[in-house]
Structure 1
Amino acid sequence: MKPNREHAACAFSLPTSSGSYPLKRVLDCALGGMLFILCLPLMAGTAIVVWLSLGLPLFFTQARVGAGMRVFTVAKFRTMTDARGPDGALLPDQMRQTVATSLLRRLRFDETPQLLAVLAGDMSMVGPRPLPMATIASFGDLGRLRSLVAPGMTGWAQVNGNTLLSDEEKIALDLWYVAHASPWLDARILLLTLKILVIGERINQGQLKVAKDFLLGHTCGQQPRMKMQ
């Protein structure tokens, strides 16, 4: 889908410092490599749970957009069946999960295979959630600017509300991150991710307001038009 024509002439910009910082790739390789080794037993256990709960295949793969709009394939452990309703449409996500796979998603164990994408340079430990090309394209300039940095296993939107947020709120938080990426912010996000795994998702109204004000200050109002996946 294309952005609304009334926004075609709108100027949209982010601070000139937008983008990743020089040490980000080095830190990604170091942390990603260490976590991959530590998570090997966890991934083996997750694979067994998926096999017992859903059978084969063990993995879900899909094309997603990386830094610079480059497309790559993301892999996760499968947590949902392909159950469909009478009309042939897939049932809601919650109805296609088992108790075990729902817990895997809650703890984000299903995302551990993405550590390989981090080591390959397709993803980062921290960044906006990787999205399909159709979704990125639907955001117009917002999607292009969101893709200035590599997508992450966790990110600013994920630790400030994640699934509880609207698409407009998610992209505001994502773009705020793109403009403010730093080692200190990434470290904060990683620590907040651990907190979220324990207490669950909560909307941070203060950070959300900051991100919305930031977005309003850099655009004339283009809105997301498709649901993030």
Structure 2
Amino acid sequence: MATHDKVRVAVVGASGYSGIEAVRILSSHPFVELSVLTSEHYAGREVADVYRHMAGIDLPPFEELRPDLVQGRAEVAISCLPETVGTAHTAELIKAGVKVVDLSADYRFKDAAQFRTTYGIEHPAPHLLKEAVYGLSEFHRHELREARLVATPGCFPTGALLALLPLIRRDLIEPSSIIIDAKSGTTGARRAASIEQLFAEVNENFRAYKVGNHRHVPEMEQEISAALGRDIALLF
């Protein structure tokens, strides 16, 4: 593809926090044409009607999520749907020849059994798990260039792995001593309303959650174990 050609990109789940941020960034990219924006909640509405800060940007309206509406209109899809919601849609897009960058955790695990343990359901497209490239570009840049499916790392794993993997690869850290102590803001809980994310609950507050069973732990252990060449358990 010549450098002056624009890549047609669909953003699936474009009205969520990650989706609208992807739209904002890509809307000014010189080699990207945003061709499809999907939103189950706002199908048929203009983006600026929902997000006023996007006014003045030439964007297609939100439309319903149907893989057949994306096929033929985009070479690449950015999937911003929650875990397990877009898994089957992504598989359909891949089958139709659309490259997918998945922001959820649906394709981060190489092992379908680990996905089942973590999310409580069978993976609907286990044949794609081995193919998906973990999207930490600092360590998988070569594989990402040719990938049909990119599994974008989670927030906590991104921070932890960028710090740990260089030390591990240079044998500068004892792997059994790893403790990850991480903090997250409320936008990490996504856009859906919940009592524990209300302003009155979180303002000047601080709490631990999912201690001992956080879904990002096996993701971090997978990547660190791959770098070590042996299984490792860590404390998060």
- Using the size of structure 1 for normalisation, the TM-score is 0.27
Say which structure is richer in helix.
1
Q: TM-score, normalised by structure 2?
A: 0.26
